[in-house]
Amino acid sequence: MKRAFITGITGQDGSYLTELLLEKGYEVHGLVRRASTMNRGRIDHIPHDAALHLHYGDLTDGVSLVNLIHDIRPDEVYNLGAQSHVKVSFEMPEYTASTDAVGTLRLLEAIRAAGIDCRFYQASTSEMFGATPPPQHENTSFYPRSPYGAAKLYSHWVTVNYREAYDLFAVSGILFNHESPRRGESFVTRKITLGVAAIKLGVTDNITLGNLEAVRDWGYAPEYVEGMWRMLQHDEPQDYVLATGVGYTVRQFCEAAFAHAGLNWEDHVNYDKQYERPTEVDALIGDPRKAREVLGWEAHTKADKLAQIMVDADIDQMTRLLKK
Amino acid sequence: MNRTHLITGVAGQDGVLLARLLRSRGDHVVGTVLPGRGQPPLAPYLDGVDLVPLDIRDRDGFASLVERVRPHAVHNLAAVSSVGDSWAEPELTEAVNHTAVCDMLDVLRDVRERTGQAPCFIQASSAEIFGPAESGPVDEDTELAPANPYGEAKAGAHLAVARARSEGMAATNLVLFGHTSPLHDPRFVLRSITHQAAEVALGRRPEVTLRDPSTRRDWGAAADFVRAFAAAVDGTPDDYVIATGELHALTEMTGWALAALGLSVTPPGNSGEPPRQTDVSGVTSCAVRATEVLGWQPKIPLAEVIAGMARVDLRRLESGVEEDPSYLDEDPG
């Protein structure tokens, strides 16, 4: 039985990856922060008798990582834990760097110290491209625009560096936006689909959004964690972009989400400049050819289908909450 | 215990009374006020409270404030607070009363991811989420059927709080029925009654006149209601209706106000204004869950609150001083 160790296990990607690996027969170990109550969050629905083990620890605490890696002796490590809010990274740059940059180094060092044969996945992000014009691929030059992007870029390079210097099977997956019903509520896609559900169920009549013209490459998170896994199953450690390759505006996502519920978005969407982000990256569109050619990975769910999945899930959940 | 509470909309009636209650228990209170408006009218009652200008629609501003203050609890009282205003400004109502709540909860989720712990979140939900229920008392399981933009936005926020709680967050809805005090916004009907009664006492008007004197509502003492927020901080996160279970007609309240000022009690006249659309009248609730779980119960008879309000409104008219901390001595509780 293969053993995997996942940081950021309670996040959107961590929860889908956990489900995928359990399904594939892995024993899954996850890192969670110490709290007064064990916060299982998005993995709360996973049965307690599953091959899932949670460990207290923190990417900012190197000793705990060394001990955990030494005890668990994982075959695969997925580093998904991060302070992932761009705006927060401006307010807490040191914390962001300690978690998102040095945290990766601590984890790599823990693997090296344990002297185990282990494959390492680093969750890199399209935010590392920042101001570089689209489409972006594995050889596009980076230009991060935030402490978050810069910290992630350090992690990307230190992953590449450990691969080259220590012959570690380490890969960096550069993922474009990927969403799901588990997306946080302040992300624009989720804000839209929750709004559609509330309007459809007669609870509210409209939603408020900022810039409708921002272009994003939105894929479906469960497919992206499958891509992460495939990267670690390949013979050669390499870096990959995962994306749909299609740019979609917020407006188009709105159209699709409302239409799926039989509503016309223009009747329900308000504009508020409060929600405009002046520092926002204009357009991120990935070029996923390498992942398709080498891994046979493809984003099957495009933004319009994604909107439908999210709307259905939010209508379901809200219906349950309304009945409870 | 010296805990820190963050109260959004601290300069409203409930914000002031809650802040004073928490201060009296030795806790530290940070409160947000609308930026760019100068000193809020109720500022004289907020001695010892840290006032921070913040529009709650500013997600990042809220995130930095939480980061800086690290509150034990967030009490969300900021809102477009009148049904009437919500018809005039439905979009603003939606943004402040609903979207901003989703964003605040998301900020707290983020804090929890990062630190393992988030402050508890107490949302001022509203009886308006039930709409004009036909008959019988409502409770926490009554279907949401809001009938105006205010109620719709509050219902959306109510569900956002429920979602957060289903994810293990300490998030509570207090579904507040009507409640009042001498600090009530003068545009609302009860303050209008006590203000008019004070004018009658000074001979400035012959009688109290109202839009619809027969309106019956479940009203309570704001001083009682803010105790529910304090109790919810340490109680099991859930939805709790906060109400008195007693309906009183505006006619009756007018009588209390006049009697408190030593005037003869005459029924209010009809102002001739058209009744409001979808006014929620006659909806009541017994707050059983709040009593059982939070140990909360209304203590102050509404008649005493109205009497105190009438006396304060008379003092206001006589002195010309709109707000003064001593006015709260007239508020029982």
Measured between beta carbons, the chain B residues lying within 8 angstroms of A41 are 113, 167-168
Q: What pLDDT is attached to residue B279? A: 54
Rounded to whole angstroms, how far apart are CA atoms A210 and B309? 43
User: How far apart are the C-alpha atoms of B287 and B302, rounded to whole Å?
Assistant: 16
| CATH top-level class of B4-179+219-242 | alpha beta
Other C-beta atoms lying within 10 Å of the C-beta of residue B274: 8
- DSSP state string for A280-322: ---B--B--HHIIIII-------HHHHHHHHHHHHHHHHHHHH
Contacts A198 to B, Cβ<8 Å: 155-156, 159
Residue A150 scores a pLDDT above 90: yes
DSSP letters of A89-107? HHHSHHHHIIIIIIHHHHH
Q: What is the mean pLDDT of residues A133-149?
A: 92
pLDDT at B227: 98
Contact: B168, A37; criterion CB under 8 Å: yes
Report the pLDDT value the prediction gives residue A214, as an integer from 0 to 100: 85
Domain ranges of chain B: 4-179+219-242, 182-217+247-277+301-330
The Cα B97–Cα B123 span in angstroms is 10
| Same fold for the pair B4-179+219-242 and B182-217+247-277+301-330 | no
Higher pLDDT, A4 or A214: A4
Among the listed ranges A175-179, A259-263, B268-272, which one has the minimum average pLDDT value? B268-272
Domain B182-217+247-277+301-330 CATH superfamily = UDP-galactose 4-epimerase, domain 1 (3.90.25.10)
Structural contact between residues B213 and B275, judged by C-beta atoms closer than 8 angstroms: no
User: Searching chain B, which residue's CA lies closest to the CA of residue A7?
Assistant: B113
Pick from A11-15, A31-35, B56-60 the range whose average pLDDT is largest.
Answer: A11-15
Show residues of chain A in contact with B152, CB under 8 Å: 203-205
Contact B109 A184 (CB under 8 A): yes
Q: Which residue of B has its CA nearest to A190?
A: B102
pLDDT tens readout for residues A152-189: 999 999 999 999 999 999 999 999 999 999 988 878 89
Average pLDDT over residues B181-188: 92
Binding-site residues on chain A for chain B (CB distance < 8 A): 10-11, 32-37, 39-42, 44, 83, 85, 87-88, 91-92, 95, 184-186, 191, 194, 198, 202-208, 270, 272, 274-275, 317-318, 321-322, 324
Q: Per-residue pLDDT tens for B6-61?
A: 999 999 999 999 999 999 999 999 999 999 888 899 999 999 999 999 999 988 89
pLDDT in tens, B224-248: 999 999 999 999 999 999 999 999 9
Q: Please, which pLDDT band fits residue B271 given cuts at 50, 70 and 90?
A: confident
For residue A275, the model assigns a pLDDT of: 61
Question: What's the mean pLDDT in A2-25?
Answer: 96
A56: pLDDT strictly greater than 90: no
- Position A36 pLDDT exceeds 50: no
pLDDT at B110 (0 to 100): 85
Compute CA B68 distance to the chain's CA centroid, rounded to the nearest angstrom: 27
* Cα separation, B98 vs A162, whole angstroms: 47
pLDDT at A238 over 90: yes
Distances (CA, A) of B320 to B209, B279, B324: 23, 33, 11
Average pLDDT of the residues in B119-128? 96
Residue type, A141: S
In 3D, which of A202, A231, A104, A87 has the Cα closest to residue A162?
Answer: A104
Tens digits of per-residue pLDDT, A220-231?
999 999 999 999
What type of residue is A311? V
pLDDT at A39 over 80: no
Least confident of A87-96, A159-168, A290-299, B42-51: A87-96
- The pLDDT value given to residue A23: 96
What pLDDT sits at residue B38? 85
Give the integer Cα–Cα distance in Å for A35 and A22. Answer: 25
The confidence score (pLDDT) of residue A277 equals 56
Show residues of chain B in contact with A194, CB under 8 Å: 102, 160
Tokens at residue B49, please? 């409270």
When pLDDT is averaged across residues A310-321 and rounded to a whole number, the result is: 94
Other C-beta atoms closer than 10 Å to the C-beta of B90 total 19
Six-digit token string for B95: 């943004």
The set of residues, in sequence order, having a beta carbon less than 8 Å from that of B292 and lying 6+ positions away, is none
pTM of the model: 0.82
Tell me the residue type at B105: L
What digits encode the pLDDT tens for the residues B147-180? Answer: 899 999 999 999 999 999 988 899 999 999 999 9
Question: A interface mutation test: which of B113, B144, B236, B289 has the most A CBs within 10 A?
Answer: B113
DSSP string computed for B92-160: HHHIIIIIHHHHHHHHHHHHHHHHS---EEEEEEEGGGG-S--SS---TTSPP---SHHHHHHHHHHHH
For residue B290, the model assigns a pLDDT of: 96
Could you give the count of Cα atoms lying within 13 Å of A304 in the half-sphere of its Cβ?
6
CB contacts, 8 Å: B116 with chain A: 32-36, 39
Q: Do A208 and B94 touch (CB under 8 A)?
A: yes
Interface contact B94-A204, CB threshold 8 A? yes
Q: Mean pLDDT across chain B, nearest whole number?
A: 92
Q: Where are the alpha helices (DSSP H) in chain A?
A: 12-23, 62-72, 86-91, 93-96, 103-114, 147-166, 188-200, 221-233, 250-260, 289-290, 303-323
- Which one-letter amino acid corresponds to residue A239? D
Confidence bin at A279 (pLDDT 50/70/90): low
Facing residue for A208 by CB, picked from B63, B99, B107 = B99
